[in-house]
Amino acid sequence: MIALLAPGQGAQSPGMLAPWLALRGAQQRIAVWSEIIGLDLQRLGTTAAAEEIKDTAVTQPLVVALSLLVAEELARRVDLPTEAPVAGHSVGELTAAAVAGVLTAEDAVALAAVRGQEMARACALAPTGMSAVLGGDPDDVMAVLAELGLAAANYNGAGQIVVAGALDALATLAAHKPARTRVLPLPVAGAFHTGFMAPAEQALVQYATQLTVKNPARPLLSNADGEVVGDGAEMLHRLVAQVTRPVRWDSCMATLGAMAVTATVELAPAGTLSGLVKRDLKGTVTLALKTPEDLDKVAGLIRDQLATARRATVHSGADLSGTLV
C-alpha cells in the first residue's frame, strides 16, 4: 500500500514554486489562492529570498499552496487508490485534509494563511523558540525538559524530538545537553505546538466556524495521536487545536506501519518526511516529489507495488483480486 505525505514548515526553500508553474493551469491556481489570502504566492515562491519566506505568516500558506498544486496535478496523472492513507506534518495536515476531501483547496490555503498570521502574532508576545534534540535516552531527555520548563513540540521519530519554550531555557538546554544528544537551534519565530500559541488557537476557533467540511474520502491520519479520523468536524477541531499540542509524527509513522504501508509519496516541497520514514520504517520505499519530472515516477511505483503484492499472493496462496496498493 502507498501513503501520501504532506510536509510542513521548514521544508520551504527559495524558488521552490518555480518549476511547478509550467504545469497546466498552475499559474491560474496560484493566482486564485493569492487573491484569497492577499499574498503574492507566485513571487514568494519564485523570487523571494530565504529570509522573507521563513516568516511564519508567509511560509505556512506557501507550503500548503505548493503541496496542493502538486497533489492536484498528481491526481490528474495517477489514479491513487482510495485505500491509500494521507498524513501531513504540522501545517501539512491542512494539505492532507484537503487531499482527503475534508476541506476544499481554497479553504485549506486560507486556513493556512490565518494560522500563519495568528501564530506569528503569538510569537511576538514572548521570546520563545524551538530546538531539535537528536539521540539520547527519551526518559532522560524528558526529565531535563521538565526541569527547564520546556515542552516536547514534535515527536518526529527516528530519535528526534523538537522542543520548544523560552529562549533562555533553550540556551540552558544547549549548554547542558542530556547525555548522548545533540541540540540544534531551529530558525523559527517561536514555540509552536505549545501553550504559547494559545492566542492563535483562540483566533482559529473563531475562524473555523465559517468553514464547511466533509468526511474524509480516504484514510486521514491525525497528528494528535496517529489515529485515522473518519469525521470531518472532528478533524477540523483537531486542526485548530493542533497549534498548541504536540505533533506526534512518530505515532503517524507507527500507524502507517500497522497499515502495512510499503511505499510513501511525499508532496513538494519534499524530502524531510521521506528521510524520517527511511529511518523509522525500514524497508519502506520513499518517493519525494521534488520536481515535475518526479510525478511520472508515481505510476511506476504503483505498478511495482502491485507486482510485489501479486508475487506475495502467489507465494501465500491468498486471493487479492481487486485489491489496490
Choose between 193 and 323: higher pLDDT.
193
Residue 317: pLDDT band (50, 70, 90) is very low
Among 44-48, 153-157, 217-221, 318-322, which stretch is predicted with the lowest mean pLDDT? 318-322
Q: Where do the domains of the chain lie?
A: 2-123+194-316, 128-185
- Averaged over 252-280, what is the pLDDT? 97
Q: Where are the beta strands (DSSP E) in the chain?
A: 2-6, 86-88, 128-135, 151-157, 160-166, 181-185, 263-266, 285-288
The 10s digit of each residue's pLDDT in 114-143 is 999 999 999 999 999 999 999 999 999 999
Query: What pLDDT does residue 42 have?
Result: 98
Active site residue 34: no
Percent of the chain with pLDDT over 90: 90
CB–CB of 188/129 below 8 Å? yes
Residue 313, pLDDT > 60, answer no
The 10s digit of each residue's pLDDT in 11-45 is 999 999 999 999 999 999 999 999 999 999 999 99
Phi, psi of 246 (to 5 degrees): -65, 145
Instruction: Decide which of 3.40.366.10, 1.20.1560.10, 3.40.50.970, 3.40.190.10 is the CATH code for 2-123+194-316.
Output: 3.40.366.10
- Superfamily for the 128-185 domain: Malonyl-CoA ACP transacylase, ACP-binding (3.30.70.250)
> Annotated catalytic residue: which of 34, 67, 89, 90?
90
> Annotated catalytic residue: which of 34, 67, 193, 222?
193
Active site residue 251: no
Q: Model's pTM, two decimal places?
A: 0.93
Fold: same for 2-123+194-316 and 128-185: no
Q: How buried is residue 172: exposed, middle or buried, by Cβ count under 10 Å (0-12/13-18/19+)?
A: middle
